[in-house]
Every structure is written in C-alpha cells, then in structure tokens.
Amino acid sequence: MGIVNHEQYCQILDNAKQNKFAYPAINVSSSETANAALLGFKMANSDGIIQVSTGGGKFASGMGVGSMAKGAIALADYVRAMAAEYDINIALHTDHCHPQYVDSFMMPLIAETARRRAKGEPNLFNSHMYDGSELPMAENIAASKKLMELCLANDIILEIETGIVGGEEDGHDTSDIPADKLYTTPEDMVAAAKELGSMGRFMLAATFGNVHGVYKPGNVKLTPTILRDGQAAVVEALGADARLDLVFHGGSGSDINEIHETLDYGVIKMNIDTDTQYAFTRPIVDHMFKNYDGMLKIEGEVGNKKVYDPRSYGKAGEQGMADRIAQACKDLRSEGTSLGKTI
C-alpha cells in the first residue's frame, strides 16, 4: 500500500470511471495537511489523490528558500514515506501549473522523475496538471501535446484544462473573466480527445461554470449538462472508447445534487481546497479563543505551554481537515471503494 505506480493509478481511475464515483483531490502545503489527507482517506476507506500547487510548493519550501519545485519534491517524498503506513492507495499529483510556471515548476519535477527512473526508483509524481486555459485553444492544445510527450515517456498522466475556472487560487485571479469563458464547449472537448487522446491517457478539467473558493448559494451557476453534451460529442466523433476522464475543479461548497450529476457524466476527480483549508483552520481558531490567556504571556504571566505548544492545536487542525475529507469521500461515492491490497 502507499503511493501507486502508473499501472495501479490507471486501475484506481478505471475503478472510479466504471463505478461512477470520483476521488477527492486534496491540496496540501505542509506535513500537517498531508497527514490530514492521509487520515481522511483512511477514515473513509477510500483511495485518493494528494496534490501540490505552485503556491503550496513554494510555501512548503519555507521563506528562506521560496522554491515551488523544491517544496513540491519535499512534500511528495514526505507523503510517500507516510503513505506506506496506510492500507489505501494514494496518487501524487500537481495542480494548476500555468504557462509562466512550466519551466520553474513542472519541468524540474518531470526531470526529477526521469532522474529517479534511471536509477530504478519510483516516479516522484504520478500526474501533473498543465493549465493553459488562458491561451487560445489551439495554443493550449499545442503546448499540452509537447508536455504530454514528456509525461508519456515517464509514465506520468497529464491533466489539462479547457475553459477557465473562475475565482482566485494561489494568487491567480480570474474573477473578471467574461461569463462565457467559464464554459467548455463540446468542440473543445472533442479537440482535446482527438489531439491528446490519440497519444495516450490524460485527464480533462472541462469547465461548466465552476469557480475556485466558496460562494453564497445562488452566486455560482453550474451547468453540469455541458459535461454530458461534451461526452456525447466525443463519442459521436471518436467512439465510446474515447470518453474522457473528467476533473471537477472548484469543488468546495458545491451542491451535492450537482456533484452527483457530474459523476454520471464521467467526473473521476474533484479538487477540494477551500473547504479543507477552512476545516483545518477552524479548530485552531477555536483553540485560540478558548485558551487565549494561556496562549499569550500577558501582564507578567508565563502563559501555558500545554496550549501554546503547536502540537496541541495542530492535532485539532489535522482531525478537522481529515473529517472534511472523509465527508468528501462520502459525497463523491468513493467511501469504501479502496482497492487496497488487490492491486
């Protein structure tokens, strides 16, 4: 058990696709959040995906280093070491690499995988996401194909995005994008399936009004039927075997009925970040308020080491995030589906 290899990754993705469920893909930025992700998947008896964004990698490397690639490598190695202690299967993924970060983030990570493979060691990451959605479709596909070649040579699955996910994540703000850009067209999905699907397995984050972050009810207009219509267009153009492995970005705060509808249309991975960030932080805030006088050395007092020790509130944050991930597994129908030792 632990971090899957390429064949095992394909098996767990096939399991989701065939049985119409999706894996939560959890962004981590520290050993604490990585531990929470592993615990949450274990609690739900679900295989899962743990991912690192450019911002998460940079944060993990510390203020004295500030390297998104080095931080991502460190997190991947940490997750691999801890995942070996769990009876579930975990895939390692990177999230939202925009074109300006390909050379400083994705390329060093692919090069590190190639270096390790040459020594007979496992891949660093199982999959990477290239987000070229800000580019014209033709440029997005052309750049994706170049990266796809590198990924295929190293048994890495590439995820791409067509259309633009609204909102803000890791400092990348698309909140002013015109509404029509938030929806992938059937033509986009057919083009992706034709150009990349002919090369090998990939995942597509097709957008249907989804946004990063959590918004009040009614502020986000999801149209899951876009995924249905796009899949139908792919099948009509290229055959049933060309059906896409779809990814739902901006899953935090989404309506459960809309989530379930996307599973029927081929979503096998849903990114959850905002909700898990809050679930980690909320118990810590509660600890601070309840132990205010012990957290601070005020009016000549010495505080209470038992409550200002980071371990005291770190465990609460880990459990809070793990609980939210277990709930996500239930919502996405991956609860109880781990292939465990069978792969």
Q: DSSP strand E in the chain: where?
A: 2-3, 23-27, 48-53, 89-97, 127-130, 157-162, 168-169, 172-173, 202-206, 245-248, 267-272
The domain in which residue 48 lies consists of: 2-342
Q: Are 93 and 207 in contact (CB under 8 A)?
A: no
The CATH code of the domain that includes 246 is: 3.20.20.70
The pTM of the whole model exceeds 0.85: yes
pLDDT per residue of the chain (343 residues) written in tens, 0 to 9:
799 999 999 999 999 999 999 999 999 999 999 999 999 999 999 999 999 999 999 999 999 999 999 999 999 999 999 999 999 999 999 999 999 999 999 999 999 999 999 999 999 999 999 999 889 999 999 999 999 999 999 999 999 998 755 444 455 444 445 555 668 899 999 999 999 999 999 999 998 886 644 444 445 578 899 999 999 999 999 999 999 999 998 766 678 998 999 999 999 999 999 999 999 999 999 999 999 999 998 878 889 999 999 999 999 999 999 999 999 999 999 999 999 999 9
Q: 């939560």: which residue's tokens?
A: 24
Distance of CA 236 to the CA centre of its chain: 30
Q: Using CB atoms within 10 A of its CB, is residue 343 exposed (0-12), middle (13-18) or buried (19+)?
A: middle
Q: How many residues does the chain have?
A: 343
How many angstroms separate the Cα of 186 from the Cα of each of 22, 181, 183, 244? 22, 13, 10, 12
At residue 230, the pLDDT reads 96
Q: Three-class SS of residue 106?
A: helix
Q: Are 285 and 245 in contact (CB under 8 A)?
A: no
Q: How many domains does the chain have?
A: 1
Farthest-apart Cα atoms in the chain, separation: 75
> How does strand 172-173 pair with strand 168-169?
antiparallel
At residue 170, the pLDDT reads 53
Active-site amino acid positions: 95
At residue 182, the pLDDT reads 67
